[in-house]
C-alpha cells in the first residue's frame, strides 16, 4: 500500500472515535498493552510527560513541547485529533512523522490488526511510541485522547503528570459529575511521579489529593497568578507573579486567546517541576518559545486569525466550558457584530452550549463531513429553541464564504463548535 491507501485502510478498517463516537471507545488497556508488547515496549525507550484535562491540554502540550524543543531537547509530541493531516498527531521538534513510516508501521503490524481488532486511537498511540523510539527522542509530551485512567496513552511511566482543567465533556463515557470526570482524569497519576493540577474546583480537589496520596502534588494556581495582561489581537502580553517570592515575570504569547493565561500558569509550574528534576530550561529560552509556539510546533485552531477586516477566526471550542472562554474573548474585543459559523457533533451537550450563545448574532449552521456530526438542519432547529436564528449551509467553507460576504470590516466571523469542523476549513482559500 502507498500512503493514501494506508490512511484509507486505517480510517475504514479501524473503529474511529471521531467518526463513530462511543462505539469506538474501548474501556480497557488490553489492546494497547498487547501492541506495545509485540513492538518491544517502545514507550519505555524514552522519557515522557503525560497531559490530561477537559480543556487546555492541547495548548499546554504544545507550549511545553515548544519550550523543551527550544532548550535543545529532541522532543516528541503526540496529540489528537488532527485538523488536516493525520501526521499532525505525531511530531518531533515540530516536524510531522514521515509518510513512509506510517506505511511501514501499518504493514508491520497488519497481522496484529487482524487478530486484536484495535481502535484507530490504539494504533496511533502505538505508532507514536514506535516512531519516538526509532528517532531516539530525548523526551515526548503525550496528550491523552479523552479521560485518562483507561486512555490508550496510559501505559507510560512519565517524568511528570499534568491535569489542566476539569469540565463538562464526554459525560456519556466519563461520568455525569465533575467528581467522576476528575476521577477518570486522575487515572494518569502514578506512584512517586510528580503531578501538576492546573485549575481545580472544590469538587475536584479531594479527588486529586486521594489519587496522589503517594505522589508529589502541586496545584499550579496556588503557586502563581496573572497580575496583568494585554491582548493586542495578535499576541498576549502577560505578567505573572510567583507567590512564594512575590517575583514578577513577563511573557509574550503568540497564542492570543485570553484563556491562554490559565494554561500559562499550568505550564510554568510544569517547567518548574522539570527543572527540579534537572532539565535545563532557561527563562530566556522559555520566553522565546512562548513567542513562537505556532512556528515551533505547528499548533493551530486556538483563536487562530486567518484574515482581517472582517476578522476570520478559528477556534476548536466544542463544549460548554470551552464556549464560555470564547465568549469571554469576544467580550474583550470591539467587534461591531459576530457572525457565528457553527457546527457540532451529536454526542455533545448541544443544549448547554446553545444556551450560552447570544440571540442577536447571525448564525450560519453547518456540519463536518463525518457520521458523528449533527445535521446542520437539526442544529438550526435546536438553536431556534434558544432564540438563535440563521441559515443552513452544506459545508463549513460555504458557510464562511456567506458570512464573509455579509460581514462588514469591523465584524468577526468565528468558526467553532467542533474540532472536525475547523479541520475542514480551506485555509488556502481564506488566509489573507
Let me know: does 326 contact 317? Beta carbons within 8 Å: yes
Indicate if 420 and 272 belong to the same structural domain.
no
Indicate if 289 and 308 belong to the same structural domain.
no
In the chain, the number of structural domains is 2
Indicate if 112 and 162 belong to the same structural domain.
yes
Does residue 234 sit within a domain?
no
Write down the residue that cell numbers 464564504 correspond to.
401
Let me know: does 16 contact 124? Beta carbons within 8 Å: no
Q: What is the pLDDT of residue 174?
A: 61
Nearest-CA neighbor of 383 among 428, 338, 341? 341
Let me know: does 144 contact 156? Beta carbons within 8 Å: no
Nearest-CA neighbor of 389 among 379, 374, 375? 379
Q: Residue 26 above 80 pLDDT?
A: no
Does residue 165 sit within a domain?
yes
Q: Residue 19 above 50 pLDDT?
A: no
Indicate if 218 and 134 belong to the same structural domain.
yes
Name the residue range of residue 337's domain: 304-430
CA distance linking residue 388 with residue 381, whole number of Å:
9
Q: Residue 24 above 80 pLDDT?
A: no
Indicate if 12 and 138 belong to the same structural domain.
yes
**pTM exceeding 0.95:** no
Does residue 380 sit within a domain?
yes
Indicate if 331 and 360 belong to the same structural domain.
yes
Look up the CATH number of the domain holding residue 388: 3.90.190.20
Indicate if 282 and 337 belong to the same structural domain.
no
Indicate if 270 and 375 belong to the same structural domain.
no
Domain termination site, one of 245, 278, 296? 296
Q: Tell how strand 90-92 and strand 75-78 pair up.
A: antiparallel
Look up the CATH number of the domain holding residue 174: 3.40.1190.10
CA distance linking residue 211 with residue 165, whole number of Å:
16
Does residue 79 sit within a domain?
yes
Does residue 231 sit within a domain?
no
Q: Tell how strand 139-143 and strand 160-163 pair up.
A: unpaired
Does residue 239 sit within a domain?
no
Q: Residue 40 above 80 pLDDT?
A: yes
Write down the residue that cell numbers 527543572 correspond to.
275
Domain termination site, one of 296, 324, 348? 296
Does residue 14 sit within a domain?
yes
What DSSP line would sit under 198-219, residue for residue? -S--TTTHHHHHHHTTTS-EEE
Nearest-CA neighbor of 317 among 335, 307, 329? 329
Indicate if 140 and 10 belong to the same structural domain.
yes
Question: CB neighbours (10 Å) of residue 315?
Answer: 21
Indicate if 143 and 263 belong to the same structural domain.
yes
pLDDT tens, position by position, 356-395: 999 989 999 999 998 889 999 999 999 999 999 999 999 9
pLDDT tens, position by position, 242-295: 999 889 999 999 998 888 999 999 999 999 999 999 999 999 999 999 999 999
Domain termination site, one of 266, 296, 326? 296
Does residue 194 sit within a domain?
yes
Q: In this structure, what DSSP letter does residue 97 have? A: P
Indicate if 166 and 182 belong to the same structural domain.
yes
Q: Is 323 left (phi over 0), alpha (psi -120 to 50) or beta?
A: alpha
Indicate if 310 and 369 belong to the same structural domain.
yes
Q: What is the pLDDT of residue 169?
A: 54
Question: CB neighbours (10 Å) of residue 432?
Answer: 8
Amino acid at each position: 500500500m502507498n500512503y493514501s491507501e494506508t490512511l484509507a485502510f486505517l480510517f475504514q478498517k479501524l473503529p474511529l472515535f471521531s467518526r463513530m463516537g462511543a462505539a469506538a471507545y474501548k474501556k480497557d488497556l488490553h489492546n494497547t498493552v498487547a501492541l506495545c508488547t509485540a513492538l518491544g515496549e517502545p514507550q519505555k525507550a524514552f522519557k515522557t510527560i503525560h497531559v490530561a484535562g477537559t480543556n487546555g491540554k492541547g495548548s499546554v502540550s504544545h507550549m511545553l513541547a515548544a519550550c523543551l524543543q527550544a532548550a535543545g531537547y529532541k522532543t516528541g509530541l503526540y496529540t489528537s485529533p488532527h485538523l488536516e493531516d493525520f501526521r499532525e498527531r505525531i511530531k518531533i521538534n515540530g516536524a510531522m512523522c514521515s509518510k513512509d513510516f506510517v506505511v511501514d508501521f501499518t504493514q508491520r503490524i497488519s497481522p496484529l490488526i487482524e487478530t486484536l481488532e484495535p481502535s484507530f486511537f490504539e494504533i496511533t498511540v502505538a505508532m507514536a511510541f514506535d516512531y519516538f523510539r526509532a528517532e531516539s527522542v530525548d523526551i515526548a509530551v503525550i496528550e491523552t485522547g479523552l479521560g485518562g485512567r483507561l486512555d490508550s496513552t496510559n501505559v507510560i511511566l512519565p517524568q511528570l503528570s499534568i491535569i489542566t482543567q476539569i469540565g463538562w465533556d464526554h459525560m456519556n463515557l466519563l461520568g455525569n459529575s465533575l467528581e467522576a470526570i476528575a476521577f477518570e482524569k486522575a487515572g494518569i497519576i502514578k506512584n512517586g511521579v510528580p503531578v501538576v493540577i492546573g485549575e481545580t474546583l472544590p469538587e475536584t480537589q479531594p479527588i486529586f489529593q486521594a489519587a496522589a496520596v503517594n505522589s508529589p502534588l502541586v496545584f499550579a494556581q496556588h503557586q502563581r497568578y496573572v497580575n496583568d495582561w494585554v491582548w493586542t489581537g495578535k499576541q498576549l502580553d502577560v505578567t505573572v507573579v510567583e507567590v512564594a517570592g512575590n517575583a514578577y515575570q513577563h511573557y509574550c504569547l503568540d497564542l492570543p486567546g485570553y484563556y491562554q493565561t490559565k494554561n500559562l500558569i499550568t505550564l510554568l509550574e510544569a517547567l518548574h517541576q522539570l527543572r527540579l528534576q534537572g532539565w535545563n530550561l532557561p527563562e530566556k529560552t522559555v520566553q522565546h518559545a512562548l513567542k513562537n509556539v505556532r512556528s515551533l510546533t505547528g499548533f493551530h485552531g486556538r483563536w487562530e486569525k486567518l484574515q482581517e477586516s472582517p476578522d476570520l477566526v478559528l477556534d476548536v471550542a466544542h463544549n460548554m466550558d470551552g464556549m464560555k472562554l470564547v465568549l469571554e474573548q469576544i467580550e474583550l474585543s470591539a467587534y461591531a457584530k459576530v457572525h457565528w459559523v457553527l457546527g457540532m457533533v451529536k454526542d455533545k451537550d448541544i443544549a448547554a452550549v446553545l444556551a450560552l450563545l447570544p440571540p442577536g448574532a447571525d448564525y450560519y449552521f453547518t456540519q463536518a463531513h463525518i457520521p458523528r456530526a449533527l445535521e446542520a438542519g437539526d442544529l438550526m432547529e435546536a438553536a431556534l429553541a434558544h432564540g438563535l436564528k440563521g441559515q443552513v449551509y452544506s459545508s463549513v467553507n460555504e458557510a464562511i464564504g456567506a458570512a464573509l460576504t455579509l460581514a462588514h470590516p469591523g465584524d468577526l466571523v468565528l468558526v467553532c463548535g467542533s474540532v472536525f469542523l475547523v479541520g475542514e476549513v480551506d485555509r488556502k482559500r481564506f488566509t489573507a
